[in-house]
């Protein structure tokens, strides 16, 4: 019985993914973490510059793949830790733990999920 259910699930998933979607409907979100760090935070509003300067080969490979398969690729920066209040002091200690959990304010976690679901970026979500 489990094998029958697994086959049905695989066939259903294959149908939904392969038969109903075109390549242009597929999206890849490349996410860069630790953007609370000063050397990365400066790129928060311009991830393309970060990728171009620090990962040109990665960008070139993904651009070729994107052109070949006619799909979307977007880059996002995020911080699971965020900053202490409204300051730009990272809410971490060297062990990479949240320093002040009561004022935890991560950012950049929602925008990539929204883009994956809709294909549209909403920069208002960058701070969430």
Q: Is residue 113 part of a domain?
A: yes
Number of domains in the chain: 1
Q: Is residue 16 part of a domain?
A: no
Query: Between residues 95 and 46, which one has the greater pLDDT?
Result: 46
Q: Give residue 128's pLDDT band: very low, low, confident or very high (50, 70, 90).
A: confident
Distance CA 74, CA 76 (A): 7
DSSP lists the bridge partners of residue 82 as: 105
Distance CA 108, CA 76 (A): 7
Distance CA 38, CA 15 (A): 46
**107 within 8 A of 93, measured Cβ to Cβ:** no
Q: Is residue 92 part of a domain?
A: yes
Q: Is residue 111 part of a domain?
A: yes
Q: What are phi and psi of 117, to 5 degrees?
A: -75, -35
Distance CA 128, CA 120 (A): 16
Q: Is residue 12 part of a domain?
A: no
Containing structural domain, residue 53: 24-127
% of the chain residues with pLDDT over 90: 30
Q: Which two tokens stand for residue 90?
A: 């990272």
- pTM for this structure? 0.63
Mean pLDDT of all residues in 50-70: 92
Q: Is residue 13 part of a domain?
A: no
Residue-wise pLDDT for 3-52, tens only, equals 555 555 455 445 455 556 666 678 889 999 999 998 999 999 999 999 99
């Amino acid at each position: 019985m489990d094998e029958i259910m697994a086959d049905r699930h695989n066939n259903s998933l294959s149908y939904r993914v392969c038969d109903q979607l075109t390549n242009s409907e597929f999206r890849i979100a490349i996410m860069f973490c630790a953007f609370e760090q000063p050397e990365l935070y400066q790129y928060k509003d311009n991830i393309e510059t970060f990728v171009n300067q620090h990962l040109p080969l990665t960008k070139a490979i993904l651009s070729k793949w994107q052109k070949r398969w006619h799909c979307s690729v977007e880059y996002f920066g995020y911080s699971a830790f965020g900053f202490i209040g409204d300051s730009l002091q990272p809410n971490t200690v060297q062990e990479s733990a949240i320093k002040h959990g009561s004022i935890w304010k991560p950012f950049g976690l929602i925008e990539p999920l929204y883009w994956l679901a809709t294909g549209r970026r909403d920069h208002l979500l960058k701070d969430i």
